[in-house]
Amino acid sequence: MKELAGILELTEEEKAWREGPLSVPLRITGHYLSLIDPTDSSDPLRRQVVPTCRENMTSGTESADPLEEVSHSHGERLIHRYANRVAFLATDICPMYCRHCFRRRFTGNMTGPATEAEIESAALYIKAHPEIREMLLTGGDPLTLSDAMLDSMIGAFRKTSPSLIIRICTRYPVSQPSRITRELVDMIKRHDSAPFFLMTQFNHPREITPESIRAVSLFVDAGIPAMNQSVLLRRVNDDADVLEELCNRLVFCRIKPYYLFQGDMVSGTSGFRVPLKRGMEIERELRRRLSGLAMPVYAADLPDGGGKVPLCGSYIISSPDKEKGSWQFRTPEGGTRIVEDPQF
Ligand code: SF4
């Protein structure tokens, strides 16, 4: 924090932050720091990476692991919460730590990359469960590993499950796009027995820079589609104008806006959570303004491991009864329409 105080004029709330069991480490990349307006203490990019003392508080409804990842884990690194997919925690390290990180029970503990034994055991588990079709390579940020380490990790999974679809979940295009090189993408492409997807996390349009566009383009040009998962964050992007610009710009950069997540009930993150009612208002407004291609799914991961549910108001006013086979709908503009159901 001392070093940061030499670059940004810190607020009292920022100065009062203490690293503790509820927090992730303080680390901001030079690239991201260069995007922050040093004169604006409420800059939406600054809020994502500069901690405040709010992070040291927790409420009774929050917990370290609301998604119950630990109870769905097989070993330290493999989470099997949905039948058809798993998450493998390649490392707990990130080049920059987001203050809203939902996996803070694990992220930044400095345990480092998964061991060979952990990788092998996860690969054998996946092989023994043919219902698993996809794996999220996540963490932490898996791209903190060297190309050689990633090559060997991906190779181990491909060797036992050549048809496994792999999602590479990374914030590097936002935090340090120079990490993404042609050599990295070429190495990934050598494991092309099944598709890869790049999963990014852009939360604000100002995070889309020429460098980040170049980084994502390397993947997309190589045939690896890019999908974005934003988090709805208070005083960062809880505004239809901001999200409209973000989503439209993402599509223009060939990144599909995939999810807009409601903040999970994770200890120390209450300062970022947007009330559900407000989130749903924003979702309705976005649905009115954006094309289907640009529209993300607003969703919540339910507590106690309840799984993901879409959060959108219903457009059905009334469903058909026995006599009338017609449905009544509300339009996004607030009008009503009748649909005669041909199967009735
Ligand atoms: S990049 Fe992902 S894992 Fe790392 S701190 Fe941010 S949200 Fe957490």
Cite the active site residues.
81-82, 85, 94, 98, 101, 103, 264, 301, 308
Task: State the Cα torsion 307-200-112-183 to the nearest 10°.
Answer: 140
Summarize the confidence of residues 6-24 as an average pLDDT. Answer: 91
pLDDT at 321 over 80: no
Of residues 202, 313, 300, the one with CA closest to residue 248: 202
Is the pTM for the entire model greater than 0.85? yes
Distance 97 CA to ligand 1 centre (A): 6
The pLDDT tens digits for 85-136 are 999 999 999 999 999 999 999 999 999 999 999 999 999 999 999 999 999 9
Which residue among 101, 136, 169 has the greatest number of ligand 1 atoms within 8 angstroms of its CB, and so is best to mutate? 101
pLDDT at 210 over 60: yes
pLDDT at 344 over 60: no
pLDDT of residue 326: 87
pLDDT at 328 over 70: yes
Closest residue to atom 7 of ligand 1, CA basis: 101
Q: Is 103 in the pocket of ligand 1 (CB under 6 A)?
A: yes
Name the residue type at position 170: T
pLDDT of residue 304: 81
CB within 8 Å of 238: residues ≥ 6 apart: 232, 274, 278, 279, 282
Overall size of the chain counted in residues = 344
The pLDDT tens digits for 330-342 are 998 889 999 888 7
The pLDDT tens digits for 244-300 are 999 999 999 999 999 999 999 999 999 999 999 999 999 999 999 999 999 999 999
The answer to which of 30-39, 64-73, 104-113 has the lowest mean pLDDT is 64-73
Q: Is 171 in the pocket of ligand 1 (CB under 6 A)?
A: yes
pLDDT at 307 over 80: yes
Which residue among 31, 79, 94 has the greatest number of ligand 1 atoms within 8 angstroms of its CB, and so is best to mutate? 94
